[in-house]
Structure 1
Amino acid sequence: MLPPRPYPWHLLMATSLLVVVDGGCSWNREAAVSPKTIVSRQLCRQGIAAMERNQWDEAEPLLAKAVDVCPEAPEARAKYADLLWHRNQHAEAIREMAEAVRLAPDDAASRVTYGEMQLAMGDIESAGEAADLALDMNPKLASAWALRGRLMRRTGKQREALSDLHRAEGLDPKDSSYPMEIAELYLGLHEPDRALATLQSLSSRWSDQEEPAALLSLKGMAYSTMGRYDDAANTFLLACSRGGADIETLYRLAETQVRAGRPREAAAALKKALSLDPQHAASRHLLAQLGTDRGSLR
């Protein structure tokens, strides 16, 4: 799916406004700007502000109205598509994003967003076409390389994916999602030392008290793969304390605690996991194993 991080939306407003006689709608900043365009931009800006405040119910009518007022406004359609995607109205979001691309065919970033949506829905061919066109337009667009890397990963071409994501990271080193994905790829390629080095470098962007749970979980996986079970357990425990106590992380925590010789702690983690999903098979199985070896729990 589309990356869960918020988009850094930037709405560029015209510095001078010219009113056309027919009252039509034009989003082209080099053309005369109609009253409808002005209203659409104002509504779009208000909708974006509401989205940034996570006030989605407030944003939806504003962005829908922005599109209604000026159907030829590509930015309004793109922002409305983003809102629809957030609300899991995926088919509608893709239709709006397709219109945004049609209205602004030279906008490489819009093609990337469209491609990410198609990839999330499993349309590999459409996503690939979007990535290729975006890279043809702007070979230095980091998000386009990232999209291509995700496509490579989805189709099992892990080394190619790694190369593309490294390219994206080099073009936009501030985006922390790229090294996270790179670390996941290294783990999948059974290179936990490289995964850990990538994650430790990324960790320097935060203080020890601020490292995100997702980053800590990946570190825990790297430690576990390297056989450093105490380090893995402690890192998973920290991830859980940072809001990352989902069932998979709790299970991984318990698994590494067992391997580290900490069965009592593992049993507690498994019980917490089963409180989230009593039918989680792996947690039930591991807890049963611990129950049959009662001596280890004393």
Structure 2
Amino acid sequence: MEWMQSSELARRRAFCASGIVLGALVLAVLSGCSTFSQANASHQKIVQARQLTQRGVQAMHRDDWENAEKLLAEAKKNAPYDLQARMHYAQTLWKTGKQAEAIAELESAQTLGSDDPDLHARIGRMYLDSGDPTKAHISANRAIECDPKYAPAWQLQGDLALVRRDLESAKLCYIRAATNSEAANRDVQLRLASTYRQLGQPSQALACISMVRQAEFGHRLPADVGVEQALAYRDLGRHVDAADCLAELAETNEMTADLLYTWAECEVAAGRLARAEYAANSALQVNPQHASALQLVGQLPVFRQQAQQTMRR
């Protein structure tokens, strides 16, 4: 009898143990389903964030900054650890006049990507544009530490050198930026051209401009490229080329009184006094008090008399 009771007790214990195991398995399955569901929801948010980021970047390319800001804000909300979304979002904040918020956004994002050179270069550029070259210099150095061949960081260092009026250092930084760019970087080449010209090396400046012109073959001469080209021609003593370049720019662009006066100067040096008078008067239309243009107009009769005397000889 005792043996039967003992056997029955063992069966009950085994049954209870089986129930416990089965319950544990059910809980594990349910927990796994919950975890899978959470993981799936998280994955969907990441996918949605990437789609929103892509749409935001497309809006940025269309210069639709307000719409881009909304899309990227939503992308950041869905994936707060997505560094690319946050960097693009900061750019939209900057473009819509929220400079302080843009900088704060990138400063916060630095905790996500401390080894990302693009992040450091971007915030460094914002620091510089907002008038804080010290922080910009620190950020540029961090970007270069992350990637010694990162061209935008060297370009930023070159711009900082220009702020210090250290033309030689600026030149070396721009050369590093140009060397490490996959293709001809328009902004770098133009900055390098300007730096060469200010260092009294107009031939090297023209070489940089030539690279930009080749990359933009078939397009109308852009104003910034044309100005640098004209000034390099002038410094080389190629006054006809300089004057023709500035005349071409004046046909399609609004020009400052100083540039129009430079055009007039080049026309005088080229011996084309009628064109010089037109250019000087154009400068005075922009700024009637432009002292140099007024002086040149007053000197034109003397220049004409000298030209006539030269022809008689």
Q: How does 1:197-208 map to 2 (within 5 A)?
A: 197-207=207-217
Mapped to 1, the partners of 2:283 and 2:103 lie a distance apart of 36
Give 1 or 2 for the bigger CA radius of gyration: 2
Q: How does 1:276-287 map to 2 (within 5 A)?
A: 277-278=286-287, 281=289, 284-287=290-293
Q: 2:62 corresponds to which residue?
A: 53
Q: 1:233 corresponds to which residue?
A: 243
Q: 1:158 corresponds to which residue?
A: 167
Q: How does 1:18-57 map to 2 (within 5 A)?
A: 21=38, 33-57=42-66
Mapped to 1, the partners of 2:113 and 2:217 lie a distance apart of 41
Preserved CA contact (<8 Å) 1:223 1:232: yes
Out of 292, 298, 302, the residue aligned to residue 292 of structure 1 is 298
Q: CA 1:50–1:201 in 2, change beyond 3 Å: closer, same or farther? A: closer
Preserved CA contact (<8 Å) 1:135 1:145: yes
Deviations 1:123-154 (A, max 9, x none): 12211111111111111211122222222222
TM-score scaled by length of structure 2? 0.75
Q: 1:126 corresponds to which residue?
A: 135
Q: 2:100 corresponds to which residue?
A: 91
Q: 2:124 corresponds to which residue?
A: 115
Mapped to 1, the partners of 2:234 and 2:300 lie a distance apart of 25
Q: 1:76 corresponds to which residue?
A: 85
Q: How does 1:151-190 map to 2 (within 5 A)?
A: 151-172=160-181, 173-190=183-200
Higher relative contact order (CA 8 A, sep 6+): 1
SS across alignment from 1:103: coil
Name structure 1 gaps, 5 residues minimum.
1-17, 25-32
Identity %: 30
Name structure 2 gaps, 5 residues minimum.
1-34, 306-313
SS across alignment from 2:111: helix
Mapped to 2, the partners of 1:210 and 1:260 lie a distance apart of 25
Once structures 1 and 2 are overlaid, which stretch shifts more, 90-99 or 132-141?
90-99
- Across the aligned residues of Structure 1 and Structure 2, the Cα RMSD in angstroms comes to 2.8
Preserved CA contact (<8 Å) 1:128 1:148: yes
Q: CA deviation at 1:37?
A: 3.1
> How many residues matched?
269
Preserved CA contact (<8 Å) 1:263 1:290: no
Q: CA deviation at 1:185?
A: 0.7
Q: Which has the higher helix share?
A: 2
Q: CA 1:139–1:287 in 2, change beyond 3 Å: closer, same or farther? A: closer
Partner AA of 2:56 in structure 1: G
Q: CA deviation at 1:23?
A: 8.8
